[in-house]
Structure 1
Amino acid sequence: MKTPTRLALSLVLLALLLLGTASAADRTCSVTPVELRCEYLNDPLGIDVTEPRLSWQLAATDSDAYGQRQSGYQVLVASTKDLLDRGKGDMWDSGMVASDRSVHVVYQGRPLGSRMQCFWKVRVKDESGVVSRWSEPARWTMGLLEPGDWHARWIGTDQVFERKQGWPPPDNDVPDPWLRRSFTLDARPKRAAIYIASVGYHELYVNGRKVGDTVLAPSVANHRKRARYVTYEIAEHLKEGRNVIGLWLGVSWSIFPQYKTPDKPQTPIVLAQAEIELPGGKTVRIVTDDSWRTCPSPNTLLGVWDFMHFGGELYDARKEVPGWCEVDFDDSIWKPATVYSPSLKLSAEMVEPNRRVREVRPVAIAETRLGVYRVDLGVNMTGFFEMNVRGEPGQVVEMKFSEQSKADMTHRLRSKYIIGPSGKGTFRNRSNYFAGQWVTIEGLKYKPRLDDIRADLVRTDYARASSFECSNELLNWIHDATLLTFENLSLGGYVVDCAQRERMGYGGDGHATTECGLNHFGLGAFYTKWVQDWRDVQGGESAWGTSGDKAATTDAIESGNLPYTAPTYWGGGGPAWSGFCVTLPREIYERYGDVRILEVNFPMIRRWLAFLETKAKDDMLVRWGGEWDFLGDWLWPGAKGVNGDTIETLFFNNCFWIFNLQTAAEIAGIIGEEDAAAKYRARADEVRRAVHAKFFKPDENSYVNGFQGYLAIALLVDLPPKELRPAIWNRLEKEILIVRKGHIHAGITAGAFLFKTLLDADRQDLIFTMANKDTYPSWGLMRRNGLTAIAESWMMDNSLCHSSYLYVGTWFIEGLAGIKPDVSRPGFKHFVLKPGIIDDPSMRWVKAHHDCLYGRIESRWRIDDDRVLTLNVTVPPNTTATLHLPTAADKAITASGSALAEAKGLRHVRTEEGCAIVELGPGRYEFQSSLAVVARP
């Protein structure tokens, strides 16, 4: 027999290779890239991050298959859509990168400069090496990156606010100004963008039309230091010939007392620069300067934009000027704009804008006394109010807003409309917002109809990232009220304590809201913006009511001290309030795998911890500051007065110091700051020993007064030595179940750490016991009292829409649905599924999902009458999960109809403590298992 020649072998191998290639080409990729994002945002305009991060999700081609993952990616970025469509990445072609990374892929192409347009798409290689089709295109644009790119001047009106004597303080009398500038274009533009920064809100009009659907722009910033600019694309609004740009400013934050500086007037000001590209390459630049004309608008802020005096709006329709922002309008009698020169750092608006997100129609209107009408909106809300009115010219219609059914007005929130010459018109909010459920209407000579009135919930337009429903109606109400409250409190790119009275971004309240928010909404950009606000306020004093001239004004921060709110620089608190600067970046990292957020904010964390060392003696913090400067827990049941001088507060703040130190050590380790990590761990150990020695009560196995939150935070920071932990846990259980008869007994900050501790320990039973109550103190009592949002205090005696107790919202997704991030593999690349099965007749089923950066995670469980658990879960492509499946007999478990050992897409690792531990790859699964029979007395 002849030996095959080398040529023959080569031909055979070539034929096999071609056959394999054809086979691979005929196969369909298991995933398709979708939901492209840049810096968490969808097609953002005018960003100022020069190495933006790109993310995408993978949609499974076959939803019944398993194991879909990415083994490679190729990103193309082009300077034009045409080049991208032709597969030309003139800005960046990554080539096929062998990587499963689909989140936070750093742009590594040509250096990015001001005004650039960047069109991009991605394709991926799946687990079998098959390449997907290209994604749909996405894009981002660059803003003005250098100070020298700006040629505009800050302008405004010469009318300046002066706070007048009296109590309550007399209303602001500076009208919201109009500004306009006309110009001529030789041709219709190819592209046009305008960059607008303002102190106070602004609206943009081009040739008589409002641009975009956003409201209350920009997001709130610390205007002692920073102004954010918003980028608008306006080419479609422009034309050949004469054009006009109009700006309608709102007084709002321009007169906030803590933002007052010598170089900046207390009046709304704006900086705007339009870059207009014409055919042939010619560019026209329109900038704000003294050539602009200004006139008072019919709208004026009521109130003085300060604590308890946010007021509303007065719209005088007699002062309307038809066509004020149209091309043919004659502005010759308008005044020239006034030029100002504030020292403000300019940065891009890189958070979702405020929008109307939900329409609300009134449910009832009643005449409460002669000529006075009471409107019930059916829900306590924050947003815009709108009403059609008619009457005699000059007739004043007043709207008073209330959270309480028996009060005409709460927190002095009210607006007015003066009817114009036509005898009819529409009041609508523009530069301020209301909060409440009831509206008292005075000044009408007729009963308004339901269809005359509407309201819109207004908030930062982040995406909803969850759903939840269960068989317990009380828990469903708590869930819905908690989320409504969060939405009401997150207008302007930060979370306020309350929208009606203070509008302050308290760090203490942040502990109560952040994990709740991250479980239910897409908040990557939102919280990235808010943590920048915390950097901006670092370095000044932190006393309640700090006067503006003592606030931080420069970036050259020597002191690491922080006030208790950001970006508002106001209010009381203590170490836990300011120490939110450490926990917020860590929470963002845990949910989104965002290492950059840790790197950027670590200098702030260092300075904060260095400041705390100046307040320590004998390895413990000592009391500092004024009456409001060293608070512990806040608004627990029965709380009275200010608690900065109590032994309990001293204990709580020192425990929180340990929490800050150990969190900072984790952060330092993640970003490679090993010396700092070791230093903070060692310091935490020193403080831990000192605090335990001083505050432990061995006869009671307790600390200080034994309140739930204090015991919980002690456990959270490993305060008790290992041998004492079981006794402290027993003491905490006794405090909940026996001393408080199953009720919660904690406030804002200690309550947040109570729930964090119980969730970390998987004590669903204890949380359910507290959440399922409807007697004092409880969320259920709020429901019984007819509330639609969560109140400020358990007594329900102040604000009825407040951030205080929103930490319960975390439990619905992490606890009952059991969808938890894995802290060792952050960002949900790997996560934990551990459904919270509650042994209670009311808890027969739960349905929930959470949308992480990789896609949708689902968890649905139900228990039948024979105590058989059916669990349906979905693991998105390119992720893995560890499932803890409760079972009485793991050999009887089925997965998608098969025995566990034979099921696809998973691996049974072990069984421990009544749970089968199963590693899951991407896919959809249905498990059934028998639960242990629980003996009942």
Structure 2
Amino acid sequence: MLMSIRKYRKLILNKDFDAASWIGVPGRVITAGFQKDLPAPHFRRNFDYHGTGDAVELVIAAAGYYEVYINGKKVGDQVLAPTPSNYDRRMFYNRFNISGYLLAGKNTVGIILGNSFYNAGTLGPWVIDKASWRDYPKFMLQINSTGRCILNTDENWQVNGEGPIRYDSIRNGEYYDARLELGKWASPDFEVADGKWVVAARIHGPGGELSEELHAPCRIYDILHMHKITDNIYDSGQNLAGWARIKVKGEAGAEVICRYSELIAGELGYLDGTKRIKRDEIARFVNSGEFQTDKYILKGGDSEIWQPRFTYHGFRYIEVQIIGSAEIISIDACAVGTHFDIIGRIATSDATVNALMKCTYWTFRSNFVGFPTDCPQREKQGWTGDALLGAETGLYNFESASAYCDWLEILADAQRPSGQIPGKAPISGWGYNWGYGPAWDSAIILIPAYVYAHTADISIIRKLYVNMQKYMDFCGSMATDDILRFGLGDYCPLDWDNMLDPAITSTAYYYTNAVTLAQFAGLLDAEDDRKYYLELAHSISTAFNKTFYSKNGIYGDGSMTALATAVYHKLAIDSQLTAEHLNELVKNNDHKINFGMLGAKYVPRVLADYSHIDTAYMMFVQDKYPGWAYPLKYGETTLLEQWNGAGSHNHIMKGDISAWFFRYPGGFTHSIENPGWKNISIRPQLIKALTSFRAEYRNYVSEWKRIDRDCIFNITVPDASRADLILPNGAAYSLAPGEHMFKIQG
């Protein structure tokens, strides 16, 4: 009986870890609330290895962040690993081939653990400090070769809980005292000579199912030199997510304090013009400890180079304070995020469009650090609404489908038995009673639809289909006569006092979700489900028009978002008429925006879908307030949360603009009916104000140029692919691999 229990334990654990146990620092206890002294523990273990020539793999699961070393060398170039999750439901682990790190004979493996979101003690509105999983960081590791365990975590490891990383917090920063460095602690010749190295404790794990992390890891993907603009303020020239790498020289005990900020006073014209960093408003959700602050204490001697390991910040500027005798030699800004392969690029004849594409690029990368977030400074939270609105931009520009799928499973882990979805994931328990609703929750249905349309990979639909059905049942329980009156709507509007009734957008998402689930049911050969969701969609459509349609193509309050919602979600009785009203509304407003985050996606897409692409284009490039291009005049390098510059200056929720340029002037069209990229539809639309346009998507190219009265199209189709091309004059072609040129009047 004992043997069967052991076998059962190994089965439910994971075959990669069948000999391993969770270990941690003995006697280290976490209490609720903010803890100031949280040194990062260092673990080490010597082992013998006599190579056979077979590959050797190391697998590691860490509750918190980790770095792993073999014989003093860091394994891999990833940072901030593994991806955070709902740790008591799912734990990500990583796999490495370490054959090249091993020596014949004696070897040493070393581990440093950081807190990540697992032990996030910073007080704030999302009560992460009271998360059900919260504990001191721990890990489990095993080294395997051809089915044989070479090393595993157990009580034979040593741990030092008092190393140089004195404090690390994902929402505050990292404090490092170089005087306390442990020497060659991860090398075989290290002598454990003091009482600070003790036997590690076998402890319980976080409780979540182990899941191998298959998407791209976080890495430093760019390094920007920071220039000194005042005596103590440095500017990278780019708003980004990451950290500073400092090179400093001075006496032992001198301290360098780096405070990170998106702003200095005077930007966007509404600050007071003095030279200092400006971050009071953006720091308001960090209610304990210091906001976005790293500290480094020098060991003295030669110049020292340091960067944090277990935190990241949203910033363009750094204010440096030096206590004691030290001088800064240089500071570089390290841009950090999920290291996606870039698969899309856009270049146009309009410098404003190019600048907006660059802003969107940096905004998206800043807001995908392991999982999609809203902003990289104030919150770092996986808000579902922001993820949904940025997803198509992500899929056009980056090889991001796998990362979205991993995050969707984190979201599904947080679903309640009732079917309710929280407004963000990972979640510490907060998010079910505010910050959710169909415009947010629909991420669990529509992002899988986008992933399938772009990749033809149905696996995430199969995996989450039951979760999607449960969510639709939850919506049904909340509906009155097929109208949903809960949830956030067109958030961050221009005018908060006249925000559109969320019932319009919530019900519209309810309808689109029903249509999408009918399509999924068809893919999964679930005919009864398909019929049910089509009937539900018809019922919702009827109720929507009965409730929100007035007359002559007008919906709701007649605002831009109200009109665009009805057309975008394919609910309008006369889509062309409603789109005409929208076009006139935008033109009569001098192409200035008057909507929030939902309208930022709906309005430009509806205009382009109904023959008003030039109106949409002018919304993007006009530089008067309010609009996308207005902040460019003041040096902004990422997209703003709010049109007036309040709040975050690095928010992805208005970032569908990049997907719009791929979809309309580029013509790259994806759908559930024609998924993937091996046989793609290209339907480019001309914009009068542009003389040239080029979109690269995977290895396709859609390019057009105006020459005199003609327009020349150059289309490239990659090997083993085909494209169905429809030109603006209606001419249609089926294109084989190769380069193709067409000329039309235009």
Report the TM-score, using the length of structure 2 for normalisation. Answer: 0.90
Determine which of 136, 145, 159 is the counterpart of 1:294: 159
1:154 lines up with 2:22 in the alignment: yes
Matched residue, 1:398: 257
Determine which of 860, 867, 870 is the counterpart of 2:712: 870
> Which AA in structure 1 matches 2:336?
V
Q: Give per-residue Cα distances to partners, 1:805-826, cap 9 Å, x unaligned.
A: 1011112211222222254221
- What secondary structure sits across from 1:734 in the alignment? helix
Query: Is residue 448–residue 461 contact of structure 2 (8 Å, CA) maintained in 1?
Result: yes
Structure 1 residues 219, 418: closer, same or farther in 2, change over 3 A? same
Q: Following the alignment from structure 2 to structure 1, what is the Cα–Cα distance between the partners of residues 671 and 313?
A: 40
Q: Following the alignment from structure 1 to structure 2, what is the Cα–Cα distance between the partners of residues 665 and 190?
A: 49
Matched residue, 2:341: 463
Map 1:133-282 onto structure 2 (within 5 A).
146=14, 149-157=17-25, 158-164=27-33, 172-186=36-50, 190-256=54-120, 266-276=135-145
Determine which of 676, 700, 703 is the counterpart of 1:860: 703
1:928 lines up with 2:714 in the alignment: no
Structure 1 residues 316, 188: closer, same or farther in 2, change over 3 A? farther
> Which AA in structure 1 matches 2:467?
M
- What secondary structure sits across from 2:520 in the alignment? helix
Matched residue, 1:378: 237
Matched residue, 1:649: 502
**Identical pairs, percent:** 27
Q: Following the alignment from structure 2 to structure 1, what is the Cα–Cα distance between the partners of residues 132 and 221?
A: 37
Determine which of 431, 440, 462 is the counterpart of 2:310: 431
Structure 1 residues 465, 402: closer, same or farther in 2, change over 3 A? same
Q: Following the alignment from structure 1 to structure 2, what is the Cα–Cα distance between the partners of residues 205 and 592?
A: 36
1:849 lines up with 2:696 in the alignment: yes
Matched residue, 1:607: 470
Q: Following the alignment from structure 1 to structure 2, what is the Cα–Cα distance between the partners of residues 325 and 195?
A: 18
Query: Is residue 421–residue 436 contact of structure 2 (8 Å, CA) maintained in 1?
Result: no
Structure 1 residues 838, 284: closer, same or farther in 2, change over 3 A? closer
Query: Is residue 168–residue 310 contact of structure 2 (8 Å, CA) maintained in 1?
Result: no
Query: Is residue 662–residue 681 contact of structure 1 (8 Å, CA) maintained in 2?
Result: yes
Task: Report the CA distance between 1:424 and its aligned residue.
Answer: 4.7
Q: Give per-residue Cα distances to partners, 1:247-291, cap 9 Å, x unaligned.
A: 0111122213767789855211101111246xxx9x453111222
Determine which of 306, 328, 350 is the counterpart of 1:472: 350
Map 1:463-862 onto structure 2 (within 5 A).
463-492=341-370, 494-539=371-416, 558-568=417-427, 570-571=430-431, 572-623=435-486, 630-639=487-496, 648-698=501-551, 701-721=553-573, 724-738=574-588, 740-761=589-610, 763-840=612-689, 843-851=690-698, 856-862=699-705
Gapped runs of 5+ residues in structure 1? 1-142, 165-169, 368-372, 540-557, 624-629, 887-913, 932-937
Superposition RMSD in Å: 2.4
Matched residue, 2:175: 314
> Which AA in structure 2 matches 1:737?
K
Matched residue, 1:361: 225
- What secondary structure sits across from 1:358 in the alignment? strand
Q: Give per-residue Cα distances to partners, 1:170-207, cap 9 Å, x unaligned.
A: 56311111011112235576432111000111001111
Structure 1 residues 647, 233: closer, same or farther in 2, change over 3 A? closer
Task: Report the CA distance between 1:422 and its aligned residue.
Answer: 3.4
Q: Following the alignment from structure 1 to structure 2, what is the Cα–Cα distance between the partners of residues 776 and 228?
A: 44
Structure 1 residues 829, 192: closer, same or farther in 2, change over 3 A? closer
Task: Report the CA distance between 1:567 and its aligned residue.
Answer: 2.4
Matched residue, 1:98: none
Give 1 or 2 for the bigger CA radius of gyration.
1
Deviates more, 1:758-767 or 1:917-926: 758-767
Larger relative contact order, structure 1 or 2 (CA cutoff 8 Å, min sep 6): 2
Query: Is residue 550–residue 556 contact of structure 2 (8 Å, CA) maintained in 1?
Result: yes
Q: Following the alignment from structure 1 to structure 2, what is the Cα–Cα distance between the partners of residues 507 and 268?
A: 27
> Which AA in structure 2 matches 1:207?
N
Deviates more, 1:816-825 or 1:376-385: 816-825
Task: Report the CA distance between 1:498 and its aligned residue.
Answer: 0.3
Matched residue, 1:22: none
Task: Report the CA distance between 1:445 and its aligned residue.
Answer: 6.6
- What secondary structure sits across from 1:702 in the alignment? coil
Deviates more, 1:814-823 or 1:781-790: 814-823
> Which AA in structure 1 matches 2:705?
R
Structure 1 residues 188, 329: closer, same or farther in 2, change over 3 A? farther
Task: Report the CA distance between 1:514 and its aligned residue.
Answer: 0.6
Deviates more, 1:494-503 or 1:388-397: 388-397
> Which AA in structure 1 matches 2:743?
Q
Query: Is residue 470–residue 846 contact of structure 1 (8 Å, CA) maintained in 2?
Result: yes
Structure 1 residues 263, 521: closer, same or farther in 2, change over 3 A? closer
Task: Report the CA distance between 1:915 and its aligned residue.
Answer: 2.4
Query: Is residue 792–residue 798 contact of structure 1 (8 Å, CA) maintained in 2?
Result: yes
Matched residue, 1:327: 188
- What secondary structure sits across from 1:377 in the alignment? strand
Q: Following the alignment from structure 1 to structure 2, what is the Cα–Cα distance between the partners of residues 323 and 205?
A: 11
Q: Following the alignment from structure 1 to structure 2, what is the Cα–Cα distance between the partners of residues 261 and 345?
A: 21
- What secondary structure sits across from 1:352 in the alignment? coil
Matched residue, 2:271: none
> How many residue pairs were aligned?
702
Query: Is residue 160–residue 174 contact of structure 1 (8 Å, CA) maintained in 2?
Result: no
Matched residue, 1:918: 733
- What secondary structure sits across from 2:663 in the alignment? helix
Matched residue, 2:273: none
Q: Give per-residue Cα distances to partners, 1:216-259, cap 9 Å, x unaligned.
A: 11122221211111111222222232221100111122213767
- What secondary structure sits across from 1:386 in the alignment? strand
> Which AA in structure 1 matches 2:212?
A
